[in-house]
Amino acid sequence: MALVKVCGIREYEHATAAVEAGVDAIGFVFAESKRKVSLKHAQNISKKLPEHVKKIGVFVNASLEELTVSYESVGLDFVQLHGSESPLFCEKLNLPFIKAFRIKSDDDIDRVHEYKNASYYLLDSATGPYQGGNGTQFNWGLLDEKEIDHNKLILAGGLNPDNIQNAIEIVQPSMVDVSSGVETNGVKDIDKIKRFIDLAKQF
């Protein structure tokens, strides 16, 4: 059974609905995105969440200082790096981190091995205007012949209540990450959040 992360949370009511449905992690987007939140707003939501729910901040090419300040002020458990952060940069980062990769080909998957100190590898689609949260999926079949630690694998990109069980069966990830797949007209939908988590936890 995969862990579930709901990303792009902006409202406490949506975070609460996810927690009540059994979510394992909540994601706050601090990078440029239609789901971007301020540190203060994320802090206000984060401090009301139960300790067992992991709080993850999403960043794109942020400085070491920005990552550290955000991590400490919001009470994050992980920073999620969605930009072109190098292995050397990540080695200097004295924080638990998730490295995201935009997958187009086999070579993109091979890059995960350059980031050995990552807590997790997040594999996302390379299609769309943003570094993540575009609601598109990559070819999961690219993972078939790859040696990758599935205990550190987070699957993202185009997941929704209709395909989540199939995705878990094919990819066998440690965690699944959803954002636009539980939205209606660009806003988190409580019914979709609950349905997604329930279906993921059933499998």
| Domain spans in the chain, listed from the N-terminal domain onward | 3-202
Report the mean per-residue pLDDT for the chain.
Answer: 93
Mean of pLDDT values over 138-155: 90
**Nearby residues of 54 by Cβ (< 8 Å), 6 or more positions away:** 5, 24, 25, 26, 77, 78
Residue 201 clears pLDDT 50, i.e. is over it: yes
pLDDT of residue 131: 47
pLDDT of residue 146: 82
User: What are 4's strand-pairing partners?
Assistant: 176
Q: Residue 57 and residue 54: Cα distance in Å, rounded?
A: 10
Q: What is the pLDDT of residues 37-84, one digit of tens each?
A: 999 999 999 999 999 999 999 999 999 999 999 999 999 999 999 999
pLDDT of residue 1: 83
pLDDT of residue 127: 56
pLDDT of residue 106: 83
Q: Residue 35 and residue 12: Cα distance in Å, rounded?
A: 14
> Taking a C-beta distance cutoff of 8 angstroms, is the pair 143, 135 a contact?
no
Mean of pLDDT values over 124-151: 74
- What is the domain class of 3-202 according to CATH? alpha beta
Q: What is the DSSP string of 69-109?
A: HHHHHHT-SEEEE-S---HHHHHH--S-EEEEEEESSHHHH
Q: How many CA atoms lie within 13 A of 37 on its CB side?
A: 23
- pLDDT band, very low/low/confident/very high, at 7 (cuts 50, 70, 90): very high
- The residues carrying an active-site annotation are 7, 124
> Taking a C-beta distance cutoff of 8 angstroms, is the pair 126, 139 a contact?
no
Structure token pair of residue 180: 């636009």
Residue 11 clears pLDDT 80, i.e. is over it: yes
